[in-house]
Structures are given as C-alpha cells and as structure tokens.
Amino acid sequence: MRKLSLLLLLLLVTSCSSPPLADEDIEIERNVYTNLPGSSGRVLAVKFDDTRDAHPQEGVESADVVYITQVEAGLTRLLGIYSSNYPAVLGPIRSARISDLSILGEYGRVGYLYSGAQSKMRPVIAAANLVNLSAERNPASIYFDDPSRRSPYSMMVRPNPLLEKAADVEAAREPGWQHGIRAKEAKKILSAKINWPNASYEATWSLEEKRFLLKHNGQADLASSGTQLGSTMMVVQIVKISPSQYADKFGGITPRSEVVGSGHGYLLRNARVVKALWNRPSLNEPTVWSLEDGSPAYFAPGQIWFFLTDIEPEFTYLPKASKG
C-alpha cells in the first residue's frame, strides 16, 4: 500500500513539473472569396431569374458571390457563385446570357448551371472554359418545375448531383480582391440605390444586423427562407453596357456588360462608401480593385454582391451632427 502511495506521489510530482504545452496558432480554413470560416470547394455558377414573378428566390443567400446584370428590356438577372455551401435546391433558373461568360472567365473552369441557351450562343458556350451543367444536358430529376410557381419562373435545380458528375470543375482560387481594413476616406451613408432602365435595388445599412439589407424594385428582397437578402460587402461596378449580337425570342436585344478593361465603382461596407477603381487586363485574369491613390481597396468579410450597371448610384449620406 505504501509503495502504491509513493508511486502515485511520484507521478503527481512528475506531471506537475512538466513544462506546459506551448500555445499553437490554430489556422482556421477560410473561403477565398468571402474570408469567412469554411472551405473553398469546386465552383458552381448559377443563373437566376430576377423579375418580380421570380421572387422569392431559393438559395441566393448561400452564394459566396452574387452578380446582378442587365438583360433585355432593362431588367436584371443574377449569377450566383457557389464554392462553400451548396443548397439542396436553387432557383428559379433561367437561360444563359453572353455577359455571364465574360464574368466567369476569371473564376477558372466552373460548372455553369442554366436552363438553356439560344442556338447562336451554344458554340460560344462550348468554346468557353467551363463545364456545361445546364438543363439541356441533365434530366428532370435534377432540373424540375416547382408546382407552387408558374412557368417560366418555375424551373429549379438540385446542384449536388451535378457536383458528383463534374469532376473537372475546378476549386475556388484566389480572386483579384483582397480583404482588409476599411479605407479611412470612406463616407458614412444610410443607403444606396442602384438603377437599371427597368429595375432597381436599394441597399440600406441595418444597425441591428450590421449589414446592408436589400430591396428589389421597392420591396424587401426576401429569400424563400424568409431571410432578407443582403450582406456586409457590396460593390457597385460601373461598366459599359452595349447591345450584343444576341436577342431573346421576342426580338429584344441582349445587352452585354463589359467587365474586361478598367473603370470605377463604389465599395459599400460598415455603413460607409468609398470610390474605387477596377482593372481586368484580360478575360482569364482577375479583377483587381484599388483606391484612387493606387493602394488596395480592401473588401469586408462576407458574401459579396456586385451590381453591374452603367448608371451612377444614388447615395443617401448620414447628416453631419450640428455643432452647438
């Protein structure tokens, strides 16, 4: 019994005298697009309808990046980029547009999900550096009509089965933007309104949620889940929009947003806005953002919304407090 007690005492002394383990820096995996904790998996690009009849949309809130682009009749559609969260269902899904291919060039070999494309565009899509995962090549078990929605706003997609059959889709790679501290010269705003000929978005800063909340054509932009769409990071990118060689079935000319080249825009984060410059030398190179003095224009962590328009946004600035 005494030997057992001595043994226990020896073990206790030995354990107490052992040096403590050194603190180790634990690296948290972060998505390269959002800088939020999470993976950077294979990239899916999903084409959403954005007309009033298409709302509420399913799964937009899970995208890492969302682009809003002008289409026929001055309306808009969305292009969602997914690399970390892949919802069970997304939609409503609509047809491909030529601006999508220009946007996607900087993302590598992505999986492109859309409902269909006019015959003139199909060879262009086939030649692009992407994997065609459209409804034209997949069964009704993957692309299906939601009975609670009316056509042509009813097509939905199950993206996960498409990931399983698209091994050559590339994983997310470092984008052109960087994450970091907000620019000192950023001005306080209450809201920003972004316009197209026949559509508008309004981003209003929420003190409670610490993010910009969106309205679409004057109405709260709600997802099917009931969540109001919005984010901590929004970018208004001023681009040239001109007629393309394509048209819809009603004869409406498809506009093309020029995203290769250079121009200016506005970064919205932390209830503030700052003017910034964008530069993208070629189709396969990333878009780099800088401040007017040439220093990096840093993005805030979170889902990123890009509003591609040729109309200057309208900002409501926070009134300056009166003195005395």
26 or 190: which carries more pLDDT confidence? 190
Using pLDDT thresholds of 50, 70 and 90, give the confidence band for residue 266.
Answer: very high
Rounded to an integer, what distance in angstroms lies between the CA atom of residue 49 and that of residue 141?
20
| Residue 26, domain member (yes or no) | no
Instruction: Report the CATH number that the domain containing residue 125 is assigned in CATH.
Output: 3.50.90.10
- Please give the pLDDT value at position 262: 98
Specify the pairing of strand 272-280 against strand 76-82.
Answer: unpaired
- Burial 22-52, CB ≥16 within 10 A → b, else e: eeeeeeeebbbbbbeebebbbbbbbbbbbbe
pLDDT of residue 52 exceeding 50, the answer is yes
- Please give the pLDDT value at position 27: 81
- Please give the pLDDT value at position 25: 62
How many domains, in total, are found in the chain?
1
- Please give the pLDDT value at position 24: 54
Q: What is the mean pLDDT of residues 151-178?
A: 96
pLDDT of residue 18 exceeding 90, the answer is no
| Residue 120, domain member (yes or no) | yes
Stated pTM of the model: 0.91
- Please give the pLDDT value at position 319: 84
| Residue 18, domain member (yes or no) | no
Q: Which domain holds residue 120?
A: 38-324
Comparing 21-25, 148-152, 274-278, which segment has the lowest mean pLDDT?
21-25
Q: What is the mean pLDDT of residues 222-233?
A: 97
- Please give the pLDDT value at position 323: 58
Rounded to an integer, what distance in angstroms lies between the CA atom of residue 178 and that of residue 185?
18
| Residue 46, domain member (yes or no) | yes
Rounded to an integer, what distance in angstroms lies between the CA atom of residue 78 and that of residue 97?
11
- Please give the pLDDT value at position 200: 98
Q: What is the mean pLDDT of residues 86-102?
A: 98
| Residue 21, domain member (yes or no) | no
Q: What is the mean pLDDT of residues 234-262?
A: 94
